[in-house]
Amino acid sequence: MEKPEHYEADVLHFFDGKDLEREIYEALFARMDAAFPDGRVQVQKSQISFYGRHLFGAASLPVRRRRGWPERCLVATVGLARRLESPRVAVAVEPYPGRWTHHILLTEPSQADDELMDWMREAYAFAEAKRRGKRG
């Protein structure tokens, strides 16, 4: 993945004092880098965003922790044309008709697994097709 010049420093700042969450992110990024070599990553104030031509996924720290959520976790976000029916999905919302945003909580590096990557690939394809009228 294409990374901005100060990527490593930005990641360290983003996860300041959150070593487990950074370790989970690093496992996720390694998988994303392998799956999307032509993609790019951008560290922003509230999330780390993954792009092809368009945003398709993100990683963030929980801002509003819901009851029952783990104390320490990373939130992986994917936008899809369908609602995922998986116990791994902590929150699913449909901000626009036919667009579902899913938040998946990762509590250990091994959860950046094949299933999550399948969803990321689906999100990538969905995002890439959205301005071409090829959804569905």
Question: What is the per-residue pLDDT for 131?
Answer: 60
pTM of the predicted model, to two decimals? 0.91
Q: Rounded to the nearest 5°, which phi and psi values hold at 112?
A: -85, 65
Residue 63 near residue 75 (C-beta atoms within 8 A): no
Residue 126 near residue 80 (C-beta atoms within 8 A): yes
Question: What is the per-residue pLDDT for 66?
Answer: 75
Question: What is the per-residue pLDDT for 132?
Answer: 53
pLDDT in tens, the chain (136 residues): 999 999 999 999 999 999 999 999 999 999 999 999 999 999 999 999 999 999 999 999 998 777 888 989 999 999 999 999 999 999 999 998 999 999 999 999 999 999 999 999 999 999 999 765 544 4
